[in-house]
């Protein structure tokens, strides 16, 4: 039987926590981060964490053959977790995530169910499609901003749609960059990423295009008066990191550099979340 540490590794708690945190940011952006909405916010964080952890478990199960080539130290190919244990963990986490969404409100349950369908579709059939699969992942990444607004009872204001769009674009750039790192295993399995079908150089340019699009949207919240001045420094730092990542990847679209870039983009996205939150909460 798998030990707790191996199961936690399968869940990728850092990524899952970021998605739970993104739900809170989504609530803050919508103006719903209030004491009266504490129950919905706690349930929202739990839903974001559990559904993301479930997605990670299912993805590792479906990618076990690719990971045996690209990342043999992952829990399943390394033998730490058996495939059936990953599926059982996924089912449990999915059930708990949908339950917490149901306890929030009907809109949240519907959005969580939609997210689960997209997630499952990506892991089972979507990944082999390349860019469409990347877009499916980014859809799931952007949903917490909308979910947070619904969980706090604020509906779906325009600001929530704007921030969801930035998350969608930047994460798509990261997903395309990841394809460069995974090109060997993806080619063996017939996964048609841009890096496999068009080459690492083209994939780097496409990744940069999505990331630059996200950067171009970042001034709009301040121009529209949606956030305070506290938004500026963290998001400016985020933009610099994202632009640096794009330039670095275009100049050197190697597997080694793409691994560094995908981690740097993830760090930049986390910093951006902080900026979104500070700009929404502080005057």
* pLDDT of 193 higher than 60: yes
- Domain 157-283 class in CATH: mainly alpha
CATH 1.10.357.140 range(s) for the chain read: 1-155
Q: Mean pLDDT for the chain?
A: 90
pLDDT digits (tens, 9 = 90+) for 266-278: 899 889 888 888 8
pLDDT digits (tens, 9 = 90+) for 218-236: 999 889 888 899 999 999 9
Determine the pLDDT at residue 111.
96
Which residues, 6 or more positions from 79, have their beta carbon under 8 angstroms from its beta carbon?
none
Q: Which CATH architecture best describes the domain 1-155? A: Orthogonal Bundle (1.10)
């Amino acid at each position: 039987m798998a030990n707790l540490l191996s199961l936690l590794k399968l869940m990728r708690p850092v990524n899952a926590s970021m998605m739970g945190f993104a739900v809170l940011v989504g609530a803050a952006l919508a103006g719903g981060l209030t004491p009266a909405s504490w129950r919905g916010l706690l349930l929202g964080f739990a839903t974001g964490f559990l559904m993301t952890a479930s997605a990670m478990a299912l993805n590792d199960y479906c990618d076990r053959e690719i990971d045996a080539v690209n990342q043999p130290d992952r829990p399943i190919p390394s033998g730490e977790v058996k495939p059936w244990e990953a599926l059982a963990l996924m089912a449990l986490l999915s059930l708990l995530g949908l339950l917490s969404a149901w306890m929030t409100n009907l809109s949240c349950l519907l959005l969580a169910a939609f997210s689960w369908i997209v997630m499952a579709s990506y892991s089972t059939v979507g990944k082999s499609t390349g860019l469409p699969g990347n877009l499916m992942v980014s859809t799931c990444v952007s949903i917490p901003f909308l979910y947070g607004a619904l969980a706090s009872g604020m509906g779906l204001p325009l600001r929530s749609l704007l921030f969801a769009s930035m998350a969608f674009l930047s994460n798509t750039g990261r997903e395309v960059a990841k394809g460069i790192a995974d090109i060997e295993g993806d080619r063996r399995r017939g996964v048609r990423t841009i890096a496999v079908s068009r080459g690492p150089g083209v994939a780097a340019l496409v990744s940069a295009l999505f990331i630059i699009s996200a950067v171009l949207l970042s001034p709009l919240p301040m121009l529209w008066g949606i956030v305070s001045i506290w938004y500026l420094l963290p998001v400016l730092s985020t933009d610099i990191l994202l632009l640096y990542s794009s330039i670095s990847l275009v100049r050197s679209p190697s597997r080694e550099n793409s691994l560094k870039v995908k981690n740097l983009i993830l760090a930049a996205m986390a910093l951006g979340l902080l900026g979104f939150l500070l700009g929404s909460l502080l005057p």
